[in-house]
Structure 1
Amino acid sequence: MFTEIITPRFSDTDALGHINNTMVPIWFEGARDPVFRLFMPELDTNNWQLILAKIDVSYHAQMFYGQALEVRTYISRIGGASFDVYQELWQNGAKCASGTAVMVHYCYQQQTSQTIADSVKETLLAHQFQAQ
């Protein structure tokens, strides 16, 4: 599991005073950086090797300004060329949101998916989701 603490900004709130729902996918993407580094340690956009195929987000509880949020990032599925990143957003001991991003190991020059190397799969497995 990878973790990241986020401090919500005032501008992250909506008219009701809650964290705006549009922030969660943005925070989830930012918290996927450690996963990106498994494929591209320098995060060199000229040598990017991943493509996002799908995301989904479920909201479980309200989130509020002025209170830290923890993003927990796991790997929930590993295929030949794709894998799923499962993420949870926690605030004050409650799971407030969860989501899954389907990522594909991809060659932009050839415009095709690529097999994930066994060494990368082993590292991905080390971060596999374990139901709590």
Structure 2
Amino acid sequence: MFKTIIQPRVSETDGVGHINNTTVPVWFEAGRNELFKIFTPDLSFANWKLVIVNTSIDYVSQIYYGKEVEVRIWVQKIGNSSLVLHEEMHQNDKLCAKSRTTYVNFNLAEQKSEPIPQQIREQLTEHMLEIHTAEIES
């Protein structure tokens, strides 16, 4: 699992007193930084490999300014050229949002997907989701 701590900012708080729903996808992306390094160690956009092809977010509970948020990301599935992430956002040990995101290993120069190399697959396996699918869907 990848873990990232987010410190909510006043500017991310909306008029009803909680973190705006448009902020949550940005925080999930921030939680993927270590994943990006697996595919593109130098984080160079010239060598960038991952493109997002799908994401869905369930907003489970409100998130508030003033208390840190923990983003947790697991690899749920590794395909030939794609991977699916299971992502969660917690505040005060409470699940606040969850996401399912699919990325493709993509060659920007050739504009086509490429198989995920074995060395990267091995690194991804270290972050595989270890809970049952039924628990994810509840």
TM value normalised by structure 2 = 0.93
Q: CA deviation at 1:50?
A: 1.2
After superposition, where does 1:109-128 map in structure 2 within 5 Å?
A: 109-128=109-128
The percent identity for this pair of structures is 38
Q: Structure 1 residue runs of 4+, over 6 Å off? A: none
Aligned match of 2:43: 43
CA contact (8 A) 2:14 2:20 kept: yes
Aligned match of 2:22: 22
Aligned match of 2:130: 130
Q: CA deviation at 1:100?
A: 1.5
Aligned match of 1:77: 77
For 2:23, give the aligned amino acid. M
1: distance between equivalents of 2:47 and 2:119?
Answer: 19
Aligned length: 132
Secondary structure of the 1:57 match is strand
TM value normalised by structure 1 = 0.97
Q: CA deviation at 1:22?
A: 0.6
2: distance between equivalents of 1:104 and 1:115?
Answer: 9
Q: CA RMSD in A?
A: 0.9
Question: What are the superposed Cα offsets for residues 57-78 of structure 1, whole Å, 9 maximum, x if unpaired?
Answer: 1011111110110000110010
Q: CA deviation at 1:129?
A: 1.0
Question: What are the superposed Cα offsets for residues 47-94 of structure 1, whole Å, 9 maximum, x if unpaired?
Answer: 111111011110111111101100001100100000012110000010
1: distance between equivalents of 2:82 and 2:49?
Answer: 11
For 1:120, give the aligned amino acid. I
Aligned match of 2:63: 63
For 1:43, give the aligned amino acid. L
